[in-house]
Amino acid sequence: MTPPLVSYLTFNRLGLTVRNLNALLRTTDDFELHIVDNNSQDDTWEFIQSLNDSRIKSKIRFPVNAGPIYAVNYNLVQRKPGQYFIALDSDVYIYTPDWITRFMRVFDKLPEVGLLGVPRAHPYPSYLPPVIPMEKEGVSYLQLKDGKVGVILDFVPGHCQCLRPELIDEVGFWCEENGYGDAEMSVRVNNYTKFKAGFVTDITIDMVQSIPCTACEGREWCHLDKTSTTCFSIRDSKHKNEFFAELFRWKYLEYFNELQQGKRTVYCASIHSPESIRTHVYNMAWAQENFNFYVVNAN
């Protein structure tokens, strides 16, 4: 079987990227890594170019940041038929060396599982939405109970997610038309497919959000003055996800209204797949407005 595709998105924060990507490359399981640098303005791309590992199948730096959904769907197009897809954010440090095996164990034993994630970790507060413990032959996970539209954090967070290939065939891509990422994908999976979303509980991560320059593993690549400007201050000035979610919440609500009314299927098309747009409903005006929001505000 083809090893899973790991989609790794970076956006500034060189210090975290170096720490966390080095940890990923210590994984003992096999995978195919595709790295997208979303037009970082620090020295992230210089570090990525220095990496030499046979599991790295592609590296690309976008000339502009068109948002995280544009980037993850770019990597999803690279997926081979029948290949699992893992979306991994650059602020995730993985301690568990066989973490992919642990994902696969749940998928193998529990065929209803379509999407698995890992709970948010330190320094985020410990929190889970309503879940149902599920177990078979000693393998367990926490199934998302509801996944309700508009309910805060009632979804599987997208920082570390693995999707079953049969689920991808059914849902297509992350929705570019509403741009809500993990908050929309979990709802689609749990309520509009034959699959369920949930959490694994035996993969250990942290999600540290900043590192002192004196402790940074990326100092050899960094050319910032580190007094008035750091890789973290650059990222913070250009991180607009919360602003986006507030501004375009109406699209998220209207999208699910259309889905519930049967005006569209659960499958979401992508700008990266012209065939998917030709054969499925795709609100190009909404999607372009979302991409342009990031182009204007996050570069």
pLDDT tens track of the chain, all 299 residues?
Answer: 899 999 999 999 999 999 999 999 999 999 999 999 999 999 999 999 999 999 999 999 999 999 999 999 999 999 999 999 999 999 999 999 999 999 999 999 999 999 999 999 999 998 999 999 999 999 999 999 999 999 999 999 999 999 999 999 999 999 999 999 999 999 999 999 999 999 999 999 999 999 999 999 999 999 998 888 999 999 999 999 999 999 999 999 999 999 999 999 999 999 999 999 999 999 999 999 999 999 999 99
SS3 at position 67: coil
Q: Residues with Cβ < 8 Å from 194, sequence gap 6 or more?
A: 112, 170
Question: CB of 231 within 8 A of CB of 244?
Answer: no
**Structural domain for 193, as ranges:** 5-297
Strands 5-10 and 85-89: parallel
* 175's tokens: 């929705």
pLDDT of residue 126: 87
Question: CB of 35 within 8 A of CB of 48?
Answer: yes
For residue 5, the Cα-to-chain-centroid distance in whole angstroms is 12
Maximum separation of any 2 CA atoms in the chain, in Å: 56
- Scanning the structure block, which residue is given the tokens 């960094």? 222
pLDDT of residue 219: 93
Q: What's the CA dihedral at 292, 124, 36, 212 to 10 degrees?
A: 110
Domain containing residue 92: CATH number = 3.90.550.10
Instruction: State yes or no: cis peptide before 125, omega within 30 of 0.
Output: no
Provide the b/e sequence for 4-14 (b: ≥16 CB within 10 Å).
bbbbbbbbbbb
Burial class of 189 by CB neighbour count within 10 A (0 to 12, 13 to 18, 19+)? buried
Q: How many domains does the chain have?
A: 1
